[in-house]
Structures are given as C-alpha cells and as structure tokens.
C-alpha cells in the first residue's frame, strides 16, 4: 500500500504509520521567498505605523506601538537575510 494513501485509496496529508512522524511536512522556504515576505511585512507595518500616527481612534496607541515593533522585527529579519553568513574572522598572525 502507498504510504500517502488511506484505506480507501485516497491521498492523505500525512502517514498514519506509528513508526513515522505524523507531522505535516512543510517544504522549507527558499531565500527568495523569505526576502519577499520580509519586504511585504515591512511595507504593511510601515503603512500601519504611518496611518496610526496620523489618525486617532480607540486603540491607536497600542496598534502604533505593535506596528513599530513589527517593523523592527521585519527590518532585522531583512538585514539578516541580506548579509553574508561568514565564519568568524581568524586572528591575524
């Protein structure tokens, strides 16, 4: 029997075999997709930061604060994706 098929022959999202993990296998995102996610996240958080700074409504202060935190997080993630992952510098002799 196929590992991904149930008893009726229909495809299943995961294997029910107890010897294997029953977690869904999510393919890893490639760096290009991660960069796109960070850019979109930065745009959305910056837009909400500007809007909450210009308008006043109930809860705008907390939304403004969380938008700023999200912008910092996305900016740091973007920075980490775009820097070279070099090994630590060797001491000069």
What are the residue boundaries of the structural domains of the chain, listed by start?
Answer: 31-82
pLDDT of residue 85: 66
Closest CA to 81 of 10, 33, 15: 33
The residue length of the chain stands at 93
What's the token pair of residue 29? 């995102």
d(CA 77, CA 66): 16
Q: Is the pLDDT of residue 86 over 70?
A: no
Q: Write the CA distances from 40 to 26, 43, 70, 71, integer angstroms.
A: 21, 5, 12, 11
The pLDDT value recorded for residue 31 is 80
Mean pLDDT of the 73-84 span: 89
Which of 31, 49, 51 has its CA nearest to residue 41? Answer: 49
- Kindly state the tokens that stand for 16: 């029910």
> 65, 29 in Cβ contact below 8 A?
no
Helix 31-54 to helix 60-82 angle, to the nearest 10 degrees? 150
**Over the stretch 33-49, which tens digit does the pLDDT of each residue have?**
888 999 999 999 999 99
User: pTM for the full model?
Assistant: 0.60
Task: Check residues 54 and 13 and name the one with the higher pLDDT.
Answer: 54
């Amino acid at each position: 029997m196929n590992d991904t098929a149930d008893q009726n022959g229909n495809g299943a999202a995961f294997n029910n075999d107890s010897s294997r993990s029953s977690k869904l296998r999510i393919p890893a995102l490639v760096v290009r997709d991660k960069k796109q996610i960070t850019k979109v996240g930065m745009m959305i958080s910056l837009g909400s930061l500007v809007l909450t700074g210009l308008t006043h409504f109930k809860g705008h202060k907390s939304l403004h604060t969380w938008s700023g935190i999200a912008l910092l997080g996305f900016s740091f993630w973007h920075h980490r994706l775009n820097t070279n992952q070099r090994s630590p510098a060797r001491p000069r002799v």
